Structure 1
Amino acid sequence: PVDGVIEEMGAITRDKQFTVKQKLYSVEEMIGRSEIVNRYIGGTYIIIYLSPRDYHRIHSPADGTLETQYSLGSASYPVNQIGLTYGKSPLTKNYRMISEFKHQYGSALLVKVGAMYINSIVMLEESKEWRQGDEIAYFSFGSTVILLFEKDTFIPDERLHPSLQVKMGEALGSLAKRKS
């Protein structure tokens, strides 16, 4: 859904701590709503960092319907190496916009984290119906996007790994029908 570098990816567990630039963050702190977090335990997450040189538009990763959208945090700290090393939990304190959308096999979260001193995550799409590739938001400056998928609804592409540069429109994997 964005141009950037995959920072980390893996399975979502109740006690999973996301490692982002040598700092740890719980899924509960990031999402802020335990009723939503509970649905994603056992699923997959992908953290993508956007540097200042990257394309700053965010596109829908799949066809779907926007179910809920809310923001958390009020201040912004650097999301680059310096800010993540010396800041106070920047990904849980930074302004972030969380969008949950329903796709054909379940739901997914698209978490957009604001960059240093810039709280402008601008949502463009007024429609609740998203089509894969639709531009839905943009950052005014480099930042981070985190995708979370429910259990058994996403199969990551085998070529994905931390430090891989990805571009908007490249497949990160495929949606999957849950096993019965």
Structure 2
Amino acid sequence: MSWTTRLTYALPHRALSSLARRLAYSRHPRTSAWLIDTVTRKFGVDLSEAEQPDPRSYPSFNAFFTRGLRAGVRVPDPDPRALLIPADGRISQCGAIEGGRIFQAKGQSFTAAELLADDDAARPYEDGLFATVYLSPKDYHRVHMPWRGRLLETVHVPGRLFSVGPAAVRTVPRLFARNERLVCHFDTDFGPMAMVMVGALLVSGVETVWSGIEIPRYGDAVTVKDYRGADIRLERFEEMARFNYGSTVIVLLPAGVARLADGLGAESPVRLGQRLATLVG
């Protein structure tokens, strides 16, 4: 385990993330300009794809970080049977869920029940598929729907805020099942689908298109919101949520409904809208 990963065990995760949130939302011109310029330069952000390519057009660092894309720079796979990659980034891992366990990295795994914080909700995914997509600081930070679905409920699971960078993923046991996260359960025409928005160190929020800010809302108890009566339906490729700062989204699919696209594997670079999997049957 690297010294930086060891250090994250001792850091005051929530205090640091609260501080990062205050900086991210600051409208002080010098503060926001310095943060935007630093991240753009260090990570090679491509602003030519943004709706607003001028870095000085953003009133805060958070507005820059959650920027929209120009129309047409991402398009969904044209095959109507294709489930879509939900975000720009890299595949951390993807593949079969074996006996309810999700592979994290060599020597590391966690259960779907741990991730979802619900044994019953995890049962349809026991032998299904998963894809874990890591969004780096340079990436587009909005998450879109892999497939059309009706929102059933969200589950806010409090937890730690470890880094979700590759070094931490390799060394922190059960990382994604320990970090704070928002689990979004959808009903689709092939059955259930779960989208898990995983928080991380210095990630100051998760927002959804139907409810606004969901994280931070730091607490010690799991919070469930039932949306079954609200008839919230999102289409394939439609935006569903966004991160403030980089993080990870995990897609869970039930057994027997799809096969993963060829060529996807650990560290594969991916873009929103490309094929994640293909429906079978």
TM-score bracket for the superposition, by shorter chain length: 0.7 to 0.9
Which residue in the other structure is 1:159 paired with? 263
The letter for the 2-side match of 1:176 is V
Larger RCO, structure (CA 8 Å, separation 6 or more): 1
Cα deviation per residue 1:104-156 (whole Å; 9 max; x = unaligned)?
11111111101213251111135610101111110001111111100111221
Aligned residues of 2:101 and 2:109 also touching (Cα < 8 A): no
Shift of 1:159: 2.4
Q: For residues 8-157 of structure 1, what are the structure 2 equivalents within 5 Å? A: 8-14=93-99, 16-20=101-105, 23-84=108-169, 87=172, 89-125=174-210, 128-157=232-261
Aligned residues of 1:76 and 1:90 also touching (Cα < 8 A): no
TM-score (norm 2): 0.58
Cα deviation per residue 1:75-128 (whole Å; 9 max; x = unaligned)?
312111344456564322211011111111111111110121325111113561
More helix per residue: 1 or 2? 2
Greater shift in the superposed pair: 53-62 or 80-89: 80-89
Q: How many aligned positions are there?
A: 177
Aligned residues of 1:105 and 1:176 also touching (Cα < 8 A): no
Q: RMSD of the TM alignment (CA)?
A: 2.0
In 2: Cα distance, 1:75 partner to 1:102 partner: 29
Shift of 1:18: 1.9
Aligned residues of 2:100 and 2:113 also touching (Cα < 8 A): no
In 1: Cα distance, 2:96 partner to 2:173 partner: 25
In 2: Cα distance, 1:62 partner to 1:85 partner: 30
Q: Secondary structure at the residue paired with 2:114?
A: helix
Aligned residues of 1:21 and 1:84 also touching (Cα < 8 A): no
In 2: Cα distance, 1:166 partner to 1:124 partner: 23
Q: Runs (4+) of structure 1 moved beyond 3 Å? A: 20-23, 81-90
Greater shift in the superposed pair: 135-144 or 73-82: 73-82
In 2: Cα distance, 1:104 partner to 1:2 partner: 22
Which residue in the other structure is 1:4 paired with? 89
Q: Secondary structure at the residue paired with 1:37?
A: helix
In the alignment, structure 1 segments of 5+ residues that lack a partner are none
Q: 1:104 to 1:118 in 2, by over 3 A?
A: same
Identity %: 27
Shift of 1:22: 6.0
Q: Secondary structure at the residue paired with 1:118?
A: coil
The letter for the 2-side match of 1:106 is G
In the alignment, structure 2 segments of 5+ residues that lack a partner are 1-85, 212-230
More strand per residue: 1 or 2? 1
The letter for the 2-side match of 1:117 is L
Shift of 1:70: 0.8
Shift of 1:32: 1.0
Which residue in the other structure is 2:279 paired with? 175
TM-score (norm 1): 0.88
Q: 1:34 to 1:157 in 2, by over 3 A?
A: same
In 2: Cα distance, 1:48 partner to 1:3 partner: 8
Q: 1:85 to 1:152 in 2, by over 3 A?
A: closer
